[in-house]
Amino acid sequence: MATEANPRGKEIYKYSAPWPVYAMNWSFRPDHRYRLAVGSFVEEYSNKIQIVSLSNETGEFEVKYQFDHPYPSTRINWIPDPTGQMPDILATSGDYLRIWRVNSSEVKLETLLNNNKTSEFCAPLTSFDWNEVDPQLIGTCSIDTTCTIWSIETAQVVSRTKPTQLTGTIKTQLIAHDKEVYDISFSKSDKGRDLFISCGADGSIRLFDLRNLEHSTIIYEDQQHKALLRLAWNKQDTNYISAIAIDSTEVNLIDIRAPGTPVGVLQNHQSQLNGISWAPHSSCHICTAADDKKALIWDIQNLSRPIEDPLLAYQADGEINQVHWSTLHPDWIAICYKSNLEILRV
């Protein structure tokens, strides 16, 4: 694994939020190292998003910004901009897709995107993914059985005194599944701008190509037709994806060249899985997290035989509901449980 500067040489850094944490993710920008956004999970119409950064001086997380987010955010993604050349923006999903701009003194809501053109009401968004090959594209999925691909205008030159308003238009919207859609993921390959997968309550994973949306390919179906809650595309070898079903303790590894039957199954968790994250720098490492309070890192380079034990294991103090591997800091994984965010050196 790669090595990099470590503010205090510690293996674990922890931040405790003033409320239960659910959505969370890393920033890509090299000029804001060790920066994450975390979202609250409270039942009232008064949720929050915080942006926190690890201080080089204190070795502690500091809250840089806090802003309102009516419903709990189901997902947070920063614009995939490892060069730091684009506007400093992040997106959140919940009742709508919201695009936020981080300025020097505040975080401002730039645009609120509703995929229902005929009504002011909307079907909740369960997740979304930002296209790393073309950051102009964001794909959302919803309980109304649809996926929507948005075109986000982010490439304008931004004046220091008068920021350009970010806008978004629907590039395409399609009925993706027979039931609710729970997750979406774009291909990470250089040629994969137009490919994305989705999964949902009908127990299937479907592959779409933006260049030909008349057809989709079912690349996996749960044998018991259980809902599929999460999926992730391998960032280094896009032949492989991973998926987890509702209430499942197993992760299915699927080769899209041989759809139908998993090429591997990860089976070491003792209670239901909540998160999966592929390594950004390695095709054969993946991290899983579950209600058994464990985050496990697996080496899957030899799929010809059963993978019995993880490479590394971490025991948290609560049920882990999110896990994200940092693209900017590939030595670090972030997890959250209860009201806590932790980053772990691997």
Q: What is the pLDDT of residue 74?
A: 96
Contact 213, 147 (CB under 8 A): no
Contact 218, 208 (CB under 8 A): no
Per-residue pLDDT in tens (0 to 9) along the chain, 346 residues: 334 455 567 899 999 999 999 999 999 999 999 999 999 999 878 899 999 999 989 999 999 999 999 999 999 999 999 999 999 999 999 999 999 999 999 999 999 988 766 666 678 999 999 999 999 999 999 999 999 999 987 544 333 333 445 777 888 887 888 899 999 999 988 777 899 999 999 999 999 999 988 889 999 999 899 999 999 999 999 999 999 999 999 999 999 999 889 999 999 999 999 999 999 999 999 999 999 999 999 999 988 888 889 999 999 999 999 999 999 999 999 999 999 999 999 9
Q: How far is CA 336 from CA 162, 263, 344, in A?
A: 37, 29, 11
Query: In which order are the strands placed within the sheet that holds 240-245?
Result: 228-233, 240-245, 251-255, 264-266
Distance CA 9, CA 31 (A): 20
Whole-model pTM: value is 0.91
Q: What is the pLDDT of residue 45?
A: 84
Give just the sign of the alpha carbon dihedral 120, 124, 130, 131: negative
Tokens representing residue 114 in the block: 């509703």
CATH superfamily of 75-322: YVTN repeat-like/Quinoprotein amine dehydrogenase (2.130.10.10)
Tokens representing residue 109 in the block: 């809501």
Q: What is the pLDDT of residue 308?
A: 87
Distance CA 34, CA 30 (A): 9
Q: What is the pLDDT of residue 173?
A: 84
